Amino acid sequence: MSETDLVRVILGALKMKGAWAWRANSGALVIGTGKARRFVKQGEPGTPDILGVLTQEHCLVHPRVGVLFGLEVKTAKGKQSESQRAWQVKAEKHGVLYAVVRSVSDALGAVGLAPRKDQGTVVRIEAAGRGRERDVRS
């Protein structure tokens, strides 16, 4: 599964569990052409793929209200960049819950929303907009 598909699946699972989470884009976006062409910066370098907020009612492991979390999604062989590691250090210094995750179960476990061991989370996704749906079990 690609990193993009994994981000989509994790977002679906987080939302099913009641977390407020979104895809956080970072980098630069080119707008216009010719003399009207300009670069618009999106986010801070190293920002994780997913940002979200947990409240006390959703998360018993981290029983504070309004816990910000960042999840950097990687495939099995993926590694954090230097800017991603720097973002992690800064975030953790400021009390942000941060994790590098490689699966739905990693993500749910990192934010304290993992199902019990005898349960799995099934998320239905449409594979990269190609009309092929499949179930993914954590």
Q: What is the pLDDT of residue 74?
A: 97
The pLDDT tens digits for 92-115 are: 999 899 999 999 999 999 998 886
Report the CATH number at residue 76: 3.40.1350.10
- Complete DSSP assignment for 62-107: S-SSSEEEEEEE--TT----HHHHHHHHHHHHTT-EEEEESSHHHH
Reported as a pLDDT band with limits 50, 70 and 90, residue 26 is confident
Q: What is the pLDDT of residue 60?
A: 58
Q: What is the pLDDT of residue 89?
A: 97
Q: What is the pLDDT of residue 128?
A: 43
Count of all residues that appear for the chain in the document: 138
Q: What is the pLDDT of residue 21?
A: 96
65 by Cβ neighbours in 10 Å (0-12 / 13-18 / 19+) ranks as exposed
| Tally of domains in the chain | 1
The pLDDT tens digits for 46-89 are: 999 999 998 766 555 555 567 899 999 999 999 999 999 999 99
Structural domain harbouring 69:
3-137
Q: Find how far residue 8's CA is from the centre of its chain.
A: 8
pTM to 2 decimals?
Answer: 0.74
Mean pLDDT within 125-135: 45
Taking residue 58's Cβ as centre, other Cβ atoms within 10 Å add up to 17
Q: Residue 28 is encoded by which pair of tokens?
A: 């630069």
